[in-house]
Chain A
Amino acid sequence: GAGVSQSPSNKVTEKGKDVELRCDPISGHTALYWYRQSLGQGLEFLIYFQGNSAPDKSGLPSDRFSAERTGGSVSTLTIQRTQQEDSAVYLCASSSGLNEKLFFGSGTQLSVL
């Protein structure tokens, strides 16, 4: 596609529910990143995929967070048993390779009530 697409753009959920956030990277981009933007913590790296290599999960805040990337393209970030502190904008970015320019999506605004 023309840019990084994220869905949904907004998600409201109840505490304790699971949520899935989707990212469609730019076609052909081998690297995909998830970031979180929250009022308290600012912009934080979560996880990174590069080609068929094992993902770099070093930024995931707890084991309630997981992500997968199927077929080297679409990625899904899953948050289990959501908590109010998970409320944030979740940003996805992709690039054509390591050390190449990042292109960000518009994000998913997650609100946990």
Chain B
Amino acid sequence: AQSVTQLGSHVSVSEGALVLLRCNYSSSVPPYLFWYVQYPNQGLQLLLKYTSAATLVKGINGFEAEFKKSETSFHLTKPSAHMSDAAEYFCAVTHGSGNTGKLIFGQGTTLQVKP
């Protein structure tokens, strides 16, 4: 069975500091992994996805994530936080069916960026 665990429901960083949001997964099949962002009063937006190609995946807004099979992790990073990055971030894994729209989401991490 597939599952996702996001470590830390709230993360607070200062503007300009490194952003690190943690995600660990469990999957009985080679996973496809995703990070989505939800800004206040908006729908979810895809930040980036891993689909078994390069293990370091670059996404929008300067975010990237590295797939580490040995650690079953897919942590999201950004070198320098902006105030506009404040949002809720969700890690997700495919349900196992190969349909990348049918996802299992983590509980989410709220990112706060302090001036």
Interface residues in chain A, defined as those with a beta carbon under 8 Å from any beta carbon in chain B: 3-4, 31, 33, 42-45, 48, 56, 91, 93, 95, 98-107
Contacts and interface: CB of A to CB of B under 8 A. Distances in A.
A81 B105 CA distance: 27
List of 9 A-B pairs having minimum Cβ-Cβ separation, nearest first: A104-B43, A43-B105, A104-B44, A99-B100, A42-B107, A106-B43, A102-B101, A105-B43, A33-B101
B87 interface: no
Interface band, chain B: 20 to 34
A98 B97 CA distance: 11
Contacts of B103: 43, 45
A103 B104 CA distance: 16
Nearest to A59: B102
B97 to A, nearest CB: 8
A44 to B, nearest CB: 8
Interface of B: 41-46, 90, 92, 95, 98-108
Given A42-B105, A42-B107, A107 B43 contact: yes
A106 B102 contact: no
Given A31-B101, A104-B43, 18 more contacts: A33-B101, A33-B102, A42-B106, A43-B92, A43-B105, A45-B103, A48-B99, A48-B101, A91-B43, A91-B44, A93-B44, A99-B99, A100-B101, A101-B46, A102-B44, A102-B101, A106-B41, A107-B43
Contacts of B100: 98-100, 102
Contacts of B92: 43
Contacts of B105: 42-44
Contact of A56 (B42, B98, B102, B106): B102
**Which of A99, A101, A102, A103 is packed against the most chain B CB atoms within 10 Å?**
A102
Nearest to A9: B41
Given A42-B107, A42-B108, A43-B90, A48 B102 contact: yes
B42 A106 contact: yes
Nearest to B92: A43
A56 B96 CA distance: 14
